[in-house]
Amino acid sequence: MNSFSGKFLRTDFGHEVYDEWYLGAGSYNFETPEFVEKHFPFYEKALLLSKHDKILEAGCGIGSYSREFARRGYHVVGMDLSPNFLSEAQKITQRENLEIEFILGDYNEMRFEEKFTVIFFEGSFFYRSKEGLMSLLNRVHKALTPNGRVYFVHSNHSIVKKQLPVDNLSEIKKNVFVLQRSEYDENSDVERCSWLRIDLETHKHYKCDFSTMHLPPDALKNCLMEVGFKDFHFYKKRRIGDFQPEDDGFSVVAKK
């Protein structure tokens, strides 16, 4: 990349440049049908799902989990802030002859009141500060019906700190490179990330900066209790069993 020159243009989640990368080279194997299907017995057992539930998948992306809920006979609504992801979700859903309502929106701004029995996050639960987490949990709590449940996956901050910093450079097509960089701020428990797209042919480059916080499990428990969740459990990530300190992350089920 010795011929690199030019300034970076801004991009972010929901922007066509970033989303095009994610839908192609960036998605890896996370949303393959095999990956999605193998974890559903855990979701159904941990959340005590029934066909009477009304489920919101928050941060649904291209709708892989929403479609599996629908295939299994559950009433599900998918929500995402990316119109590009939702467009892809609707195309696939129509192709599979499924009926799912998709909503364009940011879950950090949702204003539902006692509408859903389950709110489901899979790989999409992010917050930038403790205040941001409390705001999100309050919105989730308000959107749930009495005895409603929320599910999300959370990182183990002590493991994340050991894994960072990380740099990953890939050539997604000839003379087009993507650099992903993550560093950990010990003082704030925040992971700071940069995504750079470098095009040596057009010299039109893009940059996306974002951060996500990783509170320790005990601090997360305090936040859940402060918001009003009366019952919660930390499982091993996507499987039955209690979370252990050496696990790289955990699944949370909390009941209103």
Helix, strand and coil in the chain, % to nearest 5: 30, 35, 35
CB-side exposure of 185: number of CA atoms within 13 Å? 14
- Helix count and strand count (H, E) for the chain: 8, 13
Beta-bridged to residue 32, according to DSSP, are: none
Cα-flanking dihedrals φ and ψ of residue 199, to 5°? -110, 105
Tens digit of pLDDT per residue, the chain (256 long)? 555 566 899 999 889 999 999 888 666 556 788 889 999 999 999 999 999 999 999 999 999 999 999 999 999 999 999 999 999 999 999 999 999 999 999 999 999 999 999 999 998 999 999 999 999 999 999 999 999 999 999 999 999 999 999 999 999 999 999 999 999 998 888 999 999 999 999 999 999 999 999 999 999 999 999 999 989 999 999 999 999 999 999 999 999 9
Specify whether the CB–CB gap between 55 and 88 falls below 8 A. Answer: no
pTM (predicted TM-score): 0.94
Q: Which one, of 111, 175, 173, 98, lies nearest residue 141 by Cα?
A: 111
Give the separation between CA 30 and CA 26, rounded to whole angstroms: 10
Strand pairing class (176-185; 205-213): unpaired
Helices 83-95 and 64-71: crossing angle, nearest 10°?
30
Per-residue DSSP letter, 7: P
Specify whether the CB–CB gap between 213 and 132 falls below 8 A. Answer: yes
